[in-house]
C-alpha cells in the first residue's frame, strides 16, 4: 500500500502513520477514501491540467466514473465542460476512483493524455488530408472547365474564321 499524502510505499502495512511524511492511515480504506476524510487537501501530483479529460471528455468521464463529464456531450455548453474537465478532471478522478497509489493514478492519467493527444493529432491529420483532397478536386475541376471553355472558344473562332473566309472567296457563277 502507498501513502496518499506523499505516494511512498508503506514500510509496514499496519503502521498508523507514514514513515516518510507523517500522514495518518485509515485501515482498509483506499487512497481516494482517505482523501475524502481530509476535505480540501489533495496529495501532491494530483491537481493539474488533464489533456485526456479535455480531449476525450465524455469517454474519459465514463472511464473515470466522473459522470458530470457527460455534460460535455450537450450542444453549446459541451466545449465549456471539456475545458472544465481539463482543469478539474484529475481531482474528480482521484476522488471517484479506486487508485492503488499516486503513482498508479498518474500512470493511468498519463495514458489517457497520450491517447487523447494521439487521437487528436490523427484526427487533425485526416481532416487536413481530406481538406487538401477537396481543394485539389475543386481546383482540378475548375481548370478542366476553363480548359473546355477555351477549347470551345478556339473551335468557335476557327469555325467563324472559316465562314468569314468562305464569304470572302469569290464563287464562280454558273453560266
Return per-residue pLDDT of the chain as tens, 175 residues: 667 767 677 776 666 667 666 666 654 445 444 544 455 578 888 999 999 999 999 999 999 999 999 999 999 999 999 999 999 999 999 998 788 899 999 999 999 999 999 999 999 999 999 999 998 888 877 655 566 676 677 677 766 665 655 566 566 666 6
CA nearest 102: which of 53, 63, 46? 46
Residue 48 cell numbers, joined: 493539474
pLDDT for res 37: 40
pLDDT for res 171: 60
Say what the pTM is. 0.57
Question: What angle do the packed helices 102-168 and 78-96 form, to 10 degrees?
Answer: 160
Amino acid at each position: 500500500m502507498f501513502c496518499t499524502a506523499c505516494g511512498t510505499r508503506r514500510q509496514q502495512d499496519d503502521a498508523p502513520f507514514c514513515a516518510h511524511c507523517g500522514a495518518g492511515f485509515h485501515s482498509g480504506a483506499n487512497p481516494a477514501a482517505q482523501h475524502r476524510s481530509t476535505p480540501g487537501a489533495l496529495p501532491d501530483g494530483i491537481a493539474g491540467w488533464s489533456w485526456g479529460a479535455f480531449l476525450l471528455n465524455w469517454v474519459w468521464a465514463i472511464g473515470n466514473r466522473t459522470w458530470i463529464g457527460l455534460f460535455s456531450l450537450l450542444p453549446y455548453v459541451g466545449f465549456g465542460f471539456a475545458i472544465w474537465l481539463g482543469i478539474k478532471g484529475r481531482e474528480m478522478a482521484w476522488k471517484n476512483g479506486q487508485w492503488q497509489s499516486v503513482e498508479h493514478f498518474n500512470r493511468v492519467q498519463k495514458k489517457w493524455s497520450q491517447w487523447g493527444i494521439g487521437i487528436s493529432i490523427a484526427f487533425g491529420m485526416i481532416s487536413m488530408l481530406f481538406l487538401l483532397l477537396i481543394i485539389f478536386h475543386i481546383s482540378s475541376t475548375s481548370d478542366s472547365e476553363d480548359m473546355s471553355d477555351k477549347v470551345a472558344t478556339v473551335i468557335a473562332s476557327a469555325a467563324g474564321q472559316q465562314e468569314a473566309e468562305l464569304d470572302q472567296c469569290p464563287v464562280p457563277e454558273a453560266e
